[in-house]
A and B are shown apart, each in its own frame.
Chain A
Amino acid sequence: MKPSAEHFEKLALEQMDVLYRVACRLTRDPERAGDLLQETYLRALRGREGFDLQAHGIRPWLIRIMHNLQINQAEHESRQPTTVEPESLETSSLAAAGDLLIGRDNLEQMDDRLVHALHELPSDYQVVMLLWAVEEFSYKEIAESLQIPIGTVMSRLHRARRRLADALRTVADSRGMIGE
């Protein structure tokens, strides 16, 4: 079933927050996340003829576009010469720590160990964890969105959880929070 242009635009824009959160995990930088989001919508709205409203709706389709764009962009950047300005270095290190994505007030109320451990995960694992935990995607939806087998979804999720557990245990050990 193909939605009308107006309906398609409405459906697509309703997913903006979900897509922005995914873009933040993929890029680890709020500014680049905004660019990726905009690029995704450009592609999606121009290519709406290729969209068919399926069982899982528009979300996996949009995330698939975003994921492919990010892969292409990463490949393109890996071919470019790297000229890193001092300001960019500063921004990158902050973004890598995830501080730019979390409000200071919220951060203080959260379990900072978990925040740190989550942001230490590779991007691929972060996206799977986000889709599973926050967006409540099923394994099948995650697999369709990222164009990976369901088994890969499960193994990424499993490894992500193991890394989180290890990270939390290490921190707890170092702080003497676990008894002999």
Chain B
Amino acid sequence: MFDVMPTDPEESFDDPELKAAVRRVWGGKPTPESVRRRLEASTTGLARDSAMTIRPRYVWAAAALVVIAVGLIALKLNGIVPVGPGPQAAAAAAPLPATLASDLVARHDGCARAADHHMPGVARDDFARIASDLKWRLGLPVMAGPIKEDQWTFAGASICPVGSFKSAHLMFKGPHHQAVSVFSLTGAALPSGVDGRAYEADRSGHPIAGFMHDGSFYCVVGSDPTGSLSLKEVRTFRDELAPQIDIPRPTVASAEH
């Protein structure tokens, strides 16, 4: 089973006994069904899409998407299709469950210490591409956009765990060691969450402002060594970023607003 190997590279060594033993341990393991389903769902047609071959049916589909997008933009401009919490929802924000708030803060603090938060394979400065790259990995629309404040810099985007859930996590750094995290994660992290409703908390000096949208939870977490970053400012960041979620969905204002 452990004989001397040949030294000639062209001559492949054979040891049927060892091969059979290794095969018993590692061989024949198929890809788990859950992984296979996830992968097939996310890759179907990707090679064809990347080939940049435009076919008639894609032209029609693209035209239809443009019409829908224009319609949605028009509706949004008229305030008919809200993305993120409406003003009433923000005014009556529900408290964020303590466990989720703690998990968000822990992740924020952990990643804020890193000099570079960019994940390999995720775009570095194009927020539309960042949203697309992270959406592909996470399986849900991602909130990604710039923070329009002077001297704030984007430190990177990555997939990070929040408690037992994966999240899309963007990190921004302020000029005075402030940090802001933008999270997108499955609504399962907030089982009691209601679409369109705002959720807020102030946990260990970290203001958190979030909302449920289309079954997913989005939020902004802030930190500031001087304690000057307020919940109001974080709420403003959230409201500016909310329209960036890549697939806005027509929603009817809930009775709880």
A→B interface (CB under 8 Å): 5-6, 8-9, 12-13, 16-17, 20-21, 24-25, 30, 33-35, 37-39, 41-43, 45-49, 69, 72-73, 76, 79-81, 83, 87, 101-102, 110-111, 114-115, 118, 129-130, 132-134, 138-140, 150-151, 154, 157-158, 161-162, 164-165
Between A9, A35, A134, the greatest number of chain B beta carbons within 10 A of the residue's beta carbon is seen for A134
Instruction: Decide yes or no whether B26 CB sits under 8 A from chain A.
Output: yes
Residues of B within 8 A of A129 (CB): 22
Cβ contacts B15-38/A at 8 Å (1 or 0 each): 100110111111101111011101
> Are B46 and A102 neighbours in the complex by a CB distance under 8 Å?
no
B107-115, B142-150, B195-203, B234-242: which lies at the interface: B107-115
> In whole angstroms, how far apart are the Cα atoms of A42 and B13 in the complex?
35
For chain B, the count of residues having a C-beta within 8 Å of the partner chain is 50
> In whole angstroms, how far apart are the Cα atoms of A69 and B47 in the complex?
19
Q: Is chain A's binding surface mostly helix, strand, loop or mixed?
A: helix
Closest B residue to A42 by beta carbon equals B136
> Are A81 and B5 neighbours in the complex by a CB distance under 8 Å?
no
Chain A to chain B: the 6 pairs with minimum beta-carbon distance, closest first? A133-B22, A83-B110, A34-B35, A45-B46, A20-B31, A150-B9
Q: How far is the CB of B86 from chain A (nearest CB, A)?
A: 36
B→A interface (CB under 8 Å): 1-2, 5, 7, 9, 12-13, 15, 18-19, 21-27, 29-32, 34-36, 38-40, 42-43, 45-48, 50-51, 53, 106, 110-111, 113-116, 118-121, 136-137, 164
